[in-house]
């Protein structure tokens, strides 16, 4: 199997991930923070070390602001519903700005809050190359705007958005800036201070090369505080540590981390993050961009193919969407799997607004997403297969 | 039981049945799998014979092309688009109010067969695909319930009664000295998809189905009344057009074989090892079905294309075959790939996709 579906989850995982999981489950798999025995302490130390590692990776100064979640969607829900609440507030309806490039894990919770009258929602469009213009976000700001939430890179088009510019204008207006880094964490440098990011959500199982069942939420200090300003916990329950308080203790990260964490998965994620740091984010990014560039160069002037998004691979992560004339995307996906043993993802990629904008709704497109471990030979086989299928 | 037995007088005159046999029938529960051509005849005759409790399971709705052979249905059922199982229940209520009917509108598969079969005295086969037959066969052997296989297409039909071997050998039929090989003793695997004709591609003569299903009903009545020695132990095959009747001796299949199912009691079909899976595809009104072919096995697009041509436009290249099919007024696009998987466009319902696949590809 040749795997070109890394935008869904990376495969293979980084070398060392499977070993780290096996070692942790055999030696240290106690419940962290729930007891003082040595194994529980080792589990807690592993989590703490990973928090610190991630804090340094994203230039977060307080590592207790790194919250472990179960995946990107979990982190996004925790952040969105934490900031905005889930029930309508008499008199005051905050305005939220988002974009057409969002994954359903952003657009669905926002839309459901809008439908219930909890927020007012504006969805900013992108240009033909797949970029949101920061000035369009600025133009959408209203007196009651409270939050701008957007993806760092489109999971359909792979286009990397200018979040530095957006972050700056959002900070100037004293609003909150929430970034979905599902497609970029581990492959595009993220600096929450330089980019003025207040909330960052990401999965551990994509470009950080960890296992599924892991995710991260960063909640910055400009966000409402626990209890005082009603940042709402998405899950409530056992936190270890202080069990005496009747509701969640207002202590980061435990305020949001109720329930036994996925320590086994996080032990694997730590190995994935180590690998990414060791290889260098820029190097992994360059590798993926070169692969996308080769496909773009091969097919951009071929009238059998329609490529979506910019042809400049340096403005992308390793993700490319396209269609082949006279074929449904789902048929191409199945042929690649059936006849060529190549895995890609056809369809809407959980991003219906993006496909509406680029005119590919409802059939969607075929998405190729090379990862850190794809080889040139694999890429050549993919290109050859696509050429054969297009006929 | 104070039921009026008068209506069964002619049946009770038979020495193999009598009043005692009739009471056994009234106290029996039979699972009828599928309520199409075979299933309607089976349900109709079992209800008239006074089998007290019928469980009828079918996923489909009644179509105009069913009326040629599916005896419980009429034109108003087509107009009202009633599920087959529900329509059968309504008809049977008028035919014999002494019979309780559970109508279940669902796909029969490895996840629900044991629940459906639990507590039934006989399983009767009226399904349209081999995968479900093997699932039913597994359940019959696992639970120790007789299973009456039947199938018909074109002018040919086959039937066979499985009185399963049980671990302790103490079932009533084994005590009577009769147990028969199971379906997997005879056919080790379900045939690959697309290799056999279906009623929807090759046609079917109504009487072929009626004849086979009445044989199934006869064997069912024998089993329910305890006449195990009278149950046919051969596989009966009839071509009513060519006037060819054969009875294949299969008794040795159990003794000489190493059947996974009834000898090793390894119920691979119930465990889902060969189960086709369905996935509703993102973004499209389409369902993908994955059939499990043997390693390296490929679909024969030429043969399938020939069979589907009478239904609409068919095109194929070396990667896929695409056929436009109108089924009961609804348009579907069926795309087949070389490893047996299929995408059915025109529905988001896995049961509809399975039905289209069973009708037009066959499995």
What is the tens place of the pLDDT at every residue in B84-116?
A: 999 999 999 999 999 999 999 998 999 999 999
Averaged pLDDT, A114-138: 97
Q: How many CA atoms lie within 13 A of B36 on its CB side?
A: 25
CA dihedral B195, B198, B202, B205 (to 10 degrees): 140
Tell me, what's the pLDDT at B231?
98
Give catalytic residue positions of B.
199
Confidence of residue A229 (pLDDT cuts 50, 70, 90): low
Please, where in chain A does CATH 3.40.640.10 lie? Answer: 17-277
| A17-277 CATH choice from 3.40.640.10, 3.40.50.2020, 3.30.300.30, 3.20.20.70 | 3.40.640.10
| CATH 3.90.1150.10 domain range(s) in chain A | 2-9+280-390
Give the pLDDT of residue B321: 94
On whether any CB of chain A is under 8 Å from the CB of B320, the answer is yes
Q: What pLDDT, on the 0 to 100 scale, is given for residue B1?
A: 45
Determine, for residues B319 and A330 on separate chains, whether the beta-carbon distance falls below 8 Å. Answer: no
User: How far is CA B234 from each of CA B142, B148, B182, B223, rounded to the nearest angstrom?
Assistant: 22, 12, 12, 15
Q: Please give the helix or strand (H or E) that residue B243 lies within, else none.
A: none
Cβ–Cβ under 8 Å, residues A339 and A27: no
Structure token pair of residue B96: 């014999």
The closest of A222, A259, A262 to A239, measured between CA atoms, is A259
Average pLDDT, chain A: 95
Q: pTM for the whole thing?
A: 0.85
| Domain boundaries B6-256, CATH class | alpha beta
A333 lies within 8 A of chain B by CB: no
The whole-chain average pLDDT of chain B stands at: 93
Q: What is the mean pLDDT of residues A226-246?
A: 81
Q: Taking the CA of residue A377 as centre, how many other CA atoms within 13 Å lie in the half-sphere pointing to its CB?
A: 2
In whole angstroms, give the CA distance from residue A95 to residue A147: 7
CATH of A2-9+280-390, one of 3.40.50.720, 3.30.70.100, 3.90.1150.10, 3.40.605.10: 3.90.1150.10
Q: What is the pLDDT, as a whole number, of residue A245?
A: 87
Asked whether the predicted pLDDT for residue B2 surpasses 60, the reply is no
* B279: contact with A, CB 8 A cutoff: no
Give Cα B270 to chain centroid, integer Å. 16
How many angstroms away from the CA of B290 is the closest CA of chain A? 11
Contact B283 A363 (CB under 8 A): yes
pLDDT digits (tens, 9 = 90+) for B247-269: 999 999 999 989 999 999 999 99
Q: Report the gap between the CA of A217 and the closest CA in chain B (Å).
A: 27
Interface of B with A in 40-79 (CB under 8 A): none
Nearest-CA residue of chain B relative to A335?
B319
Handedness of CA B113, B117, B122, B127 (dihedral sign): negative
Question: How many angstroms away from the CA of B136 is the closest CA of chain A?
Answer: 30
What average pLDDT does the segment B259-288 reach? 87
Q: To 5 degrees, how large is the angle CA A170–CA A172–CA A177?
A: 25
């Amino acid at each position: 199997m040749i795997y070109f579906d890394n935008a869904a989850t990376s495969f293979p995982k980084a070398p060392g991930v499977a070993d780290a999981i096996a070692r942790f489950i055999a030696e240290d798999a106690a419940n962290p923070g729930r007891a003082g025995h040595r194994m529980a302490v080792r589990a807690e130390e592993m989590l703490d070390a990973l928090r610190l590692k991630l804090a340094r990776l994203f230039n977060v100064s307080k590592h207790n602001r790194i919250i472990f979640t179960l995946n990107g969607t979990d982190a996004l829900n925790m952040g969105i519903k934490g900031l905005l609440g889930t029930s309508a507030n008499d008199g005051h309806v905050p305005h939220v700005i988002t974009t057409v490039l969002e994954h359903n894990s952003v657009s669905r919770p926002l839309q459901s809050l809008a439908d219930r009258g909890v927020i007012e929602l504006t969805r900013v469009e992108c240009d033909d190359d797949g970029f949101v213009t920061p000035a369009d976000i600025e133009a959408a700001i209203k007196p009651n705007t409270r939050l701008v939430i957007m993806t760092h890179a489109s999971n359909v088009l792979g286009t990397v958005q200018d979040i530095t510019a957006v972050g700056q204008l959002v900070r100037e207006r004293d609003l909150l800036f929430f970034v979905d880094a599902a497609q970029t964490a581990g492959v595009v440098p993220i600096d929450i201070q330089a980019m003025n990011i207040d909330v960052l959500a990401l999965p551990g199982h994509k470009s950080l090369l960890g296992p599924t069942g892991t995710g991260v939420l960063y909640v910055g200090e400009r966000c409402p505080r626990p209890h005082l300003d009603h940042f709402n916990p998405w899950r409530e329950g056992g936190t270890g540590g202080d069990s005496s308080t009747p509701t969640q203790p207002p202590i980061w990260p435990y305020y949001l981390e109720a329930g036994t964490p996925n320590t086994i998965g996080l032990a694997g994620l730590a190995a994935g993050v180590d690998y990414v740091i060791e290889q260098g984010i820029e190097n992994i990014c360059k590798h993926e961009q070169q692969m996308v560039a080769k496909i773009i160069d091969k097919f951009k002037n071929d009238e059998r193919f329609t490529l979506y998004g910019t042809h400049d691979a340096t403005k992308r992560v390793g993700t490319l969407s396209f269609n082949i004339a006279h074929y449904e995307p789902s048929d191409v996906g199945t042929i690649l799997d059936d006849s060529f043993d190549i895995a890609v993802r056809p369809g809407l990629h959980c991003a219906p607004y993006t496909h509406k904008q680029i005119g590919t709704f409802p059939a969607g497109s075929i998405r190729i997403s090379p990862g850190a471990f794809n080889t040139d030979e694999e890429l050549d086989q993919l290109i050859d297969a696509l050429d054969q299928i297009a006929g | 039981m104070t039921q009026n037995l008068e209506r069964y007088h002619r049946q009770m005159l038979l020495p193999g049945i009598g009043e005692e046999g009739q009471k056994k029938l009234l106290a029996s529960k039979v699972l009828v799998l599928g309520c199409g051509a075979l299933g309607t005849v089976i349900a109709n005759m079992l209800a008239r014979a006074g089998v007290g409790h019928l469980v009828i399971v079918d996923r489909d709705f009644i179509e105009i092309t069913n009326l040629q052979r599916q005896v419980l249905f009429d034109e108003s059922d087509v107009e009202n688009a009633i599920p087959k199982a529900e329509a059968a229940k309504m008809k049977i209520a008028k035919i014999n109010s002494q019979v309780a009917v559970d109508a279940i509108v669902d796909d029969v598969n490895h996840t629900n067969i044991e629940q459906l079969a639990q507590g039934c005295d006989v399983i009767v086969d009226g399904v349209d695909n081999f995968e479900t037959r093997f699932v039913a066969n597994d359940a019959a052997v696992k639970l120790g319930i007789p299973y009456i296989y039947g199938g018909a297409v074109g002018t040919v039909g086959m039937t066979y009664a499985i009185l399963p071997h049980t671990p302790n050998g103490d079932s009533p039929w084994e005590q009577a000295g009769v147990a028969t090989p199971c379906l997997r003793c005879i056919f080790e695997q379900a045939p690959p998809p697309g290799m056999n004709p279906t009623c929807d591609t090759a046609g079917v003569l109504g009487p072929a189905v009626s004849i086979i299903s009445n044989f199934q009903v006869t064997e069912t009545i024998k089993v329910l009344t305890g006449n195990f020695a009278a149950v046919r132990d051969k596989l009966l095959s009839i071509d009513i057009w060519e006037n060819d009747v054969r009875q294949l001796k299969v008794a040795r299949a159990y003794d000489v074989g190493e059947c996974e199912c009834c000898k090793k009691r390894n119920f691979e079909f119930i465990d889902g090892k060969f189960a086709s899976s369905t996935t509703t595809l993102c973004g499209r009104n389409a369902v993908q079905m994955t059939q499990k072919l043997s390693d390296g096995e490929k679909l024969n697009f030429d043969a399938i294309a020939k069979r589907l041509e009478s239904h609409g436009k068919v095109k194929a290249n070396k990667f896929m075959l695409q056929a436009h099919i109108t089924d009961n007024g609804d348009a579907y696009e069926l795309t087949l790939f070389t490893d047996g998987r299929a995408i059915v466009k025109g529905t988001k319902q896995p049961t509809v996709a399975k039905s289209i696949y069973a009708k037009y590809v066959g499995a």
